[in-house]
């Protein structure tokens, strides 16, 4: 819906197309896609639950426009609301672990996979949630100039990013509702918000929040 609305609302103009753009070569991308399909076929015969997990993480990553944080409302909806694999509090614990461990926030998928299917689930979820981005970047590197000069792409990008702002707002409200608030937690929330606004490193904010929580709660 956002894709089609963006074509009507926004009036981005395409840049002049680069006539010297390189010849496209999709052989390597085709091989990667075949490897992914082969892996999914293997999971179909090996463990259908792992296949379901892999397909879910692939879907989440495909639609997570705007970066890793855009995947959180999608994952929340699928894992907590629709499939009910985890409750909201457990999912929030996974996000917290994803923040304090190396790697992007989307590594929360590893946490979800581990709780569902152990180490095999963690491995499958991690690979699956990064696979679409890898393939899309490989594809975009081949057609980068054409995408950059496309009115369709420019309009769609603005509409999709706007829609994910709404999804992130929904996820924030959902997470806030799962917290048992008191004045100490409100103080921590306020301090963290001010720290982020002042561009303090997320590592320091989480570390201080963890230390203070040990003594306050």
Q: What percent of the chain has pLDDT over 90?
A: 35
Do 149 and 95 sit in the same domain of this protein? yes
Do 40 and 51 sit in the same domain of this protein? yes
Which has the minimum average pLDDT: 19-33, 36-50, 52-66, 119-133?
19-33
Mean pLDDT throughout 103-126?
91
Do 66 and 88 sit in the same domain of this protein? yes
Is residue 71 in a domain? yes
DSSP E strands in 40-174: the ranges are none
Residue 16 reports pLDDT greater than 60: no
Closest CA to 10 of 153, 148, 140: 153
pLDDT of residue 11: 61
Residue 17 reports pLDDT greater than 60: no
Q: Which residue has the higher pLDDT, 38 or 63?
A: 38
pLDDT of residue 98: 73
Mean pLDDT throughout 112-127?
96
Is residue 13 in a domain? no
pLDDT of residue 124: 97
Q: Which residue has the higher pLDDT, 134 or 1?
A: 134
Do 104 and 211 sit in the same domain of this protein? no
Do 186 and 170 sit in the same domain of this protein? no
pLDDT of residue 1: 58
Is residue 144 in a domain? yes
Residue pair 74/41 in contact by the 8 Å Cβ criterion: no
Domain count across the chain: 2
Residue pLDDT, tens place only, 159-181: 777 777 787 788 788 878 878 88
d(CA 20, CA 149): 13
Do 43 and 144 sit in the same domain of this protein? yes
User: Which residue segment(s) compose the domain that 162 sits in?
Assistant: 25-179
Mean pLDDT throughout 89-110?
80
Residue pair 32/138 in contact by the 8 Å Cβ criterion: yes
Do 127 and 94 sit in the same domain of this protein? yes
Mean pLDDT throughout 69-75?
84
Is residue 166 in a domain? yes
Q: Which two tokens stand for residue 102?
A: 């190396």
pTM: 0.73
d(CA 98, CA 178): 18
In the structure, how many helices (H) and strands (E) does the chain have?
9, 0
Q: How does residue 7 score in pLDDT terms, banded at 50, 70 and 90?
A: low
Is residue 7 in a domain? no
Is residue 9 in a domain? no
Which has the minimum average pLDDT: 9-18, 52-61, 70-79, 171-180?
9-18
DSSP string, 7-44: HHH----PPPP-TTPPPP--HHHHHHHHHHHHHHHHHH
Is residue 11 in a domain? no
Do 173 and 196 sit in the same domain of this protein? no
Q: How does residue 21 score in pLDDT terms, banded at 50, 70 and 90?
A: very low
Q: Which residue has the higher pLDDT, 154 or 81?
A: 81
Mean pLDDT throughout 63-90?
86
Is residue 5 in a domain? no
């Amino acid at each position: 819906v956002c894709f089609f609305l963006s074509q009507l609302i926004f009036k981005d103009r395409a840049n002049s197309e680069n006539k010297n753009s390189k010849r496209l070569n999709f052989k390597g991308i085709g091989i990667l896609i075949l490897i992914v399909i082969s892996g999914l076929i293997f999971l179909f015969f090996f463990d259908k639950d792992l296949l379901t997990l892999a397909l879910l993480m692939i879907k989440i990553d495909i639609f997570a426009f705007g970066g890793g944080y855009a995947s959180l409302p999608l994952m929340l909806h699928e894992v907590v609301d629709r499939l009910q694999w985890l409750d909201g509090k457990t999912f929030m614990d996974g996000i917290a672990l994803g923040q304090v461990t190396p790697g992007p926030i989307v590594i929360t998928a590893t946490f979800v996979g581990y709780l569902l299917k152990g180490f095999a689930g963690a491995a499958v979820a991690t690979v699956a949630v990064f696979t679409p981005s890898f393939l899309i970047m490989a594809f975009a590197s081949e057609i980068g100039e054409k995408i950059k000069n496309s009115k369709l792409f420019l309009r769609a990008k603005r509409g999709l990013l706007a829609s994910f702002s709404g999804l992130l707002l929904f996820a924030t409200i959902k997470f806030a509702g799962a917290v048992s608030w008191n004045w100490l937690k409100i103080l921590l929330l306020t301090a963290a918000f001010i720290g982020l606004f002042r561009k303090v490193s997320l590592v320091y904010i989480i570390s201080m929040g963890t230390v203070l929580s040990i003594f306050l709660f």
